Amino acid sequence: MDEIKDGKILIVDDQEYNVSLLERILKRAGFKHVFSTMDSLQVERLLAEVTPDIVLLDLHMPGMDGISVLRLIRDQSGTDNYLPVLMLTADLTAEARQMGLQAGVNDFLTKPFDRTEVILRITNLLRTRYLHIQLQQQNNLLEERVRQRTEELWQAQQEVLQLLGCASEYRDDMTGQHTQRVGLLSGLLAEQLGLSEQEADQIRLAAPLHDIGKIGIPDAILLKPGRFEAHEFECMKSHTSIGSSILEGGSFKLLKLAKLIALSHHEKWDGTGYPHGLKGEDIPLEARIVALADFYDALTHERPYKRAWSKEEALNEIKEQSGKHFDPRIVDAFVQLYDASKLV
So what's the pLDDT on residue 172?
Answer: 58
The per-residue pLDDT for range 188-205, each reduced to its tens digit, is 999 999 999 999 999 999
pLDDT of residue 59: 86
Q: What is the pTM of this model?
A: 0.61
pLDDT at residue 257, as a whole number: 94
The mean pLDDT value for 236-247 works out to 92
Q: What is the pLDDT of residue 287?
A: 98
Helix or strand holding residue 79 (H, E): none
Separation between Cα atoms, residue 314 and residue 308, nearest integer Å: 10
pLDDT attached to residue 166: 67
Task: For the chain, give the number of residues.
Answer: 344
Q: How confident is the model at residue 220 (pLDDT cuts 50, 70, 90)?
A: confident
Q: Report pLDDT for 259.
A: 94
Q: Specify the pLDDT at position 283.
A: 98
Res. 267: pLDDT tops 70: yes
Model confidence pLDDT, tens digit, residues 72-91: 888 887 777 889 999 998 87
Q: Which fold has domain 2-142?
A: Rossmann fold (3.40.50)
CB contact at 8 A, 7 and 54:
yes
On the question of pLDDT at 168 being above 80, the answer is no
Q: Report the alpha-carbon angle 101-104-108, nearest 5.
A: 55
Domain boundaries, the chain: 2-142, 170-339
Q: What angle do CA 69, 72, 73 make, to 5 degrees?
A: 90
Q: How far is CA 161 from CA 78, 117, 222, 257, 259, in A?
A: 44, 66, 22, 11, 11
Condensed to tens digits (0 to 9), the pLDDT of residues 313-330 reads 999 999 999 999 999 999
Q: Read off the pLDDT of each residue in 107-114 and give the average, rounded to a whole number.
A: 89
- CA pair distance 244, 238, nearest whole angstrom: 10
pLDDT at 174 over 60: no
Nearest residue to 222 (alpha-carbon basis) of 275, 294, 277, 172: 172
Sheet-wide strand order for 107-110: 33-37, 8-12, 54-58, 85-89, 107-110
Burial of residue 29 (number of CB atoms within 10 Å: 0-12, 13-18, 19+): middle
For residue 37, is pLDDT > 60? Answer: yes
Q: How many CB atoms sit inside 10 A of residue 204's CB?
A: 21
**Would you say residue 165 has pLDDT above 90?**
no
Class of the CATH-defined domain 170-339: mainly alpha
- Express as a percent the part of the chain with pLDDT over 90: 57
For residue range 38-78, what is the model confidence (pLDDT) as tens digits?
A: 999 999 999 999 999 999 999 888 888 888 998 888 888 77
Give SS3 for 126.
helix
Q: How far apart are CA 251 and CA 154, in angstroms?
A: 13
Residue 131: its H or E element: helix 115-169
Q: What sign results for the dihedral spanned by CA atoms 166, 170, 173, 174?
A: positive
Contact between residue 212 and residue 197 where contact means Cβ atoms under 8 Å apart: no
Q: Strand, helix or coil at 86?
A: strand
